[in-house]
């Protein structure tokens, strides 16, 4: 029987709806709504789409929302000065610097400059370290969205073999940490791994490599849950995931589509992190 689809669009709407009351309570208590500042540098077309969508979602929820668009030639010093200004602005609960940044800027230095309590991306080493040690903190949005999806389908990670394909700081590494914290037995695959062998024994597969159809449907263990974080745009303009969807669907119990799976969850979790940041700042 074909796998059930996990509808990320519907679940993201549910997550957003669940934030409204707390955001209102925060606004009533301190006189202004949770707010997020998004920084975009240069003209990367994908970044423009993502940032527009983040800003629109924040506005729909009645959050404060500010976009700072800087020229591609901005110096690192000027970008760091903007981050310092946002760190000091009491109306700003969350700061997000959209990646990738132009080559002349050291992304790590910029991410390190964001105050950890405003780091709604969860990319600051303090937040990444807290996650790795199982302590509370702001968690990277895409992996947090995947965990929310697993909760929705009542998949219990405890004792399961989970394979994460990809070791990026944005998805693979924080994903592995969350799954360890949820008591899964976690394997992280990368370019030197025998991905087929690892996927074949996984009860949960999270694919986050950015290579179209790298994970073959025939590798999927019957009944496994397959989460596809990939967003690969083909020459025809169509989006496809890191997993061979049709073939994997024949074997999995649950699978996420691309588009309409993990993608919509990322922004919903960003809004959730903004509320969390506002709540902890008091
Ligand atoms: N670029 C691709 N994904 C992300 C993300 O989640 N956050 C930021 N800041 N940049 C990205």
Dist. CA 8 → ligand 1 center (Å)? 18
Q: How many structural domains is the chain composed of?
A: 2
Distance CA(133)–CA(253), nearest Å, equals 31
Ligand 1 pocket member 273 (CB < 6 A): no
Helix or strand or coil: residue 62? coil
> 281 pLDDT band (50/70/90 cuts)?
confident
| Together in a domain, 206 and 251 | yes
| Together in a domain, 73 and 148 | no
The verdict on residue 249 lying in a domain is yes
| Together in a domain, 166 and 232 | yes
Q: How high is the mean pLDDT of the chain? A: 97
Torsion angle in degrees (nearest 10) through CA of 55, 38, 20, 140: 120
The verdict on residue 165 lying in a domain is yes
Find out whether 116 and 93 touch, Cβ atoms under 8 Å: no
Percentage of the chain modeled with pLDDT above 90: 99
Which residue's alpha carbon is at the smallest distance from atom 9 of ligand 1? 98
| Together in a domain, 243 and 149 | yes
Containing structural domain, residue 219: 141-263
pLDDT tens for residues 156-209? 999 999 999 999 999 999 999 999 999 999 999 999 999 999 999 999 999 999
CATH number at residue 98: 3.40.50.10860
The verdict on residue 19 lying in a domain is no
Among 71, 97, 115, identify where a domain stops: 115
270 Cα nearest atom in ligand 1: 6
> Which amino acids are annotated catalytic?
54, 98, 121
| Together in a domain, 236 and 166 | yes
The predicted model scores a pTM of: 0.98
The verdict on residue 125 lying in a domain is no
CA distances from 199 to 31, 105, 222, 249 (A): 50, 37, 11, 15
The verdict on residue 136 lying in a domain is no
Ligand 1 pocket member 119 (CB < 6 A): no
């Amino acid at each position: 029987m074909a796998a059930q689809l996990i509808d990320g669009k519907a679940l993201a709407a549910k997550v957003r709806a669940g934030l409204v009351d707390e955001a209102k309570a925060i606004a009533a208590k301190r006189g202004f709504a949770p707010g997020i500042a998004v920084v975009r540098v240069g003209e990367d077309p994908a970044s423009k789409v993502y940032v527009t969508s983040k800003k629109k979602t924040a506005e729909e929820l009645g959050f404060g929302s500010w976009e700072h668009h800087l020229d591609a030639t901005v110096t690192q010093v000027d970008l760091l000065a903007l981050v310092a200004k946002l760190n000091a602005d009491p109306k700003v609960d969350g700061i997000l610097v959209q990646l990738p940044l132009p080559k002349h800027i050291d992304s790590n230095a910029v991410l390190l400059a964001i105050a950890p309590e405003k780091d709604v991306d969860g990319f600051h080493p303090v937040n990444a370290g807290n996650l790795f040690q199982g302590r509370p903190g702001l968690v990277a949005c895409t992996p947090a969205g995947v965990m929310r999806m697993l909760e929705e389908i009542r998949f219990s990670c405890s004792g399961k073999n989970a394979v994460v394909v990809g070791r990026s700081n944005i998805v693979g590494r924080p994903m592995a940490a969350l799954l360890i914290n949820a008591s899964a037995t976690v394997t992280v695959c990368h370019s030197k791994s025998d991905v087929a062998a690892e996927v074949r024994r996984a009860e949960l597969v999270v694919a986050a490599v950015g290579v179209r159809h790298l994970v073959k449907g025939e590798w999927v263990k019957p009944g496994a849950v397959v989460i596809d974080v990939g967003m690969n745009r083909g020459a025809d303009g169509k989006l496809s995931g890191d997993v061979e969807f049709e073939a994997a669907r024949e074997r999995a119990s649950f699978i996420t589509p691309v588009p309409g799976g993990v993608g919509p969850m990322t922004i919903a979790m960003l809004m959730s992190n903004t509320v969390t940041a506002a709540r902890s700042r008091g």
